Each structure stands twice: as C-alpha cells, then as structure tokens.
Homo-oligomer: A and B are copies of this chain.
C-alpha cells in the first residue's frame, strides 16, 4: 500500500548524491544539502554505517560542513540493529535538521532496514521537514529497493543484485557513479525485475533533490532516467544471457532539469540552477 502512496504532501527533502561529491570548495550537492538543512543553524547527523573508515569520513564531512558555516555536526555509526533501535540514537536524530548517509558498502546499511531509526527518518521526512541525504552507497539505500551489487555489460538477470532499502523514496531504483562506471546495463537489469520501478542513475558530484512528487538536478554531471513503464521485456533462457527490452524511455538530465515522478515527465527548469528548488 505504502508503495502506491507516493510522496505527495511530503514536507522534507531527500538529496540523493551519485558519490564523489566535491568536498573541497564548498559548491555543489553538499552546499545544497547544508542550505536545505538550515545553513548556519543546521544540526547535521552523519551516519557512517556504510563505510569501513568511519572516523576519517566523519572528519571529512565535519570539515566541509564547517567551511559552509555549520558547526553542529555529529557522527552516528550504527553498526548493528541494537544501535539502530537505541533510544539515544533516536534522540540524536529527533533533534537533527539534516541527516547524511555516507558512502561505503550499501550491504552494511541493511542492518538499519525496518529499525526504529528507519521509522523515525521516514516519519520526520514526511511530516517534519527533515532533510535526508545519501551519497554513493547511501544513495541507493534511499529507495524501497536498493542495488546491492552486480556487474557485466549485458542487460541480464545475473547483472544485478537487489534487496530491500530504507524505503524513503518509493517506486524508484537508484544507481550511482553512473556514467563514470557505465552502469546503465546494471540499472536496466534492475528495472527489468519490476518495470514499474523508475530507474534513476546519478553521476558523481551530482544529485537529485526530491521534493513533493518531483526532483531537480544539481551538480556537475547528469542524471539518467530510464522508464520501462511501457516497455516489453523478454528474459533469456539463462540468467547470464542478454535479455530483449523494447520501448524503454530514456532521459538525460543535467543540472537545472527537473522530473515529475508521478507523470514521469522531464522538464528543463532554470538551467544551471544551484539550490535545488527549481520547479
């Protein structure tokens, strides 16, 4: 049921980053995130569950947000379900204005799926205007389903592995480092599993800012949208063989473009807009 509900009426913002975002000069996706979370008054929590080097990652983000004028930055490591259900964790998240999921290995984020942390994030996103960002591994985890791995240049059943995600954005399957790593075959293999899923491939240093039923693109790269809603898919005899796929609609959206998710319509907003609020 929840899947059909969509995101209409949502108060918060999701900022989904394709990885390798600029962390030095303060421009781009992280600046958009800090701004949406309240600028100098933001209270940011960095969730480092996905990475194997949490101290390093937390230090990096603390430094970049500091340069952007945000002094309240806290790390939550959340290495197991107990931590994700812990009252102290929930209190920390309850007072945040922005939550950022770091990169790393998205398989490690599975421990949070369905936890009290997950529920709190979803509620505060929908009802209280919380801003949630995820980059790289943290990006694909935002969806109802997340891509856990996969490779191969063919569109084939064996080219992708998916599992349940945090469910902060329904009906969408997200992939990252997209053109840099040539991941269109992996994303198409994923949406072939359920052609109702909208495929969203996000380049490095690029993000979608998801508002009320639509998203806008910020950053230096492109967002590739693949819509198989009207497609014909014919699986091959074996999972390793390429499948046939007809009538997939493809959209390439650089910064400033926007996309209406319910009607699945792309639009050119104010090209090169920076704050993600372009309609």
A interface vs B, CB < 8 Å? 153-155, 179-180, 182, 184-185, 188, 221-222, 226, 234, 236, 241-254, 257, 266, 268, 271
Contact = CB atoms under 8 A, between A and B. Distances in A.
Contact of A248 (B153, B221, B222, B250): B250
Copies in the complex: 2
A268 B252 contact: no
A250 B226 contact: yes
21 contacts: A154-B221, A154-B222, A155-B222, A184-B184, A188-B252, A234-B268, A234-B271, A236-B254, A236-B271, A243-B252, A244-B253, A244-B254, A244-B271, A245-B252, A246-B252, A246-B266, A247-B266, A248-B249, A248-B252, A249-B250, A250-B250
A13 to B, nearest CB: 23
Contacts of A236: 254, 271
Given A153-B179, A179-B153, A184-B184, A246 B242 contact: no
A249 B252 contact: no
Contacts of A253: 244
A242 to B, nearest CB: 4
A155 B223 CA distance: 11
Contact of A243 (B221, B245, B254): B254
A184 B252 CA distance: 12
A250 B108 CA distance: 34
Contact of A251 (B221, B226, B248, B266): B248
Given A153-B180, A179-B153, A249-B249, A242 B254 contact: yes
Contacts of A184: 184
A255 to B, nearest CB: 9
A265 to B, nearest CB: 9
B250 A244 contact: no
Given A243-B254, A245-B250, A246-B251, 12 more contacts: A154-B179, A154-B222, A179-B185, A242-B254, A243-B252, A244-B257, A244-B268, A245-B252, A246-B252, A247-B250, A247-B266, A248-B249
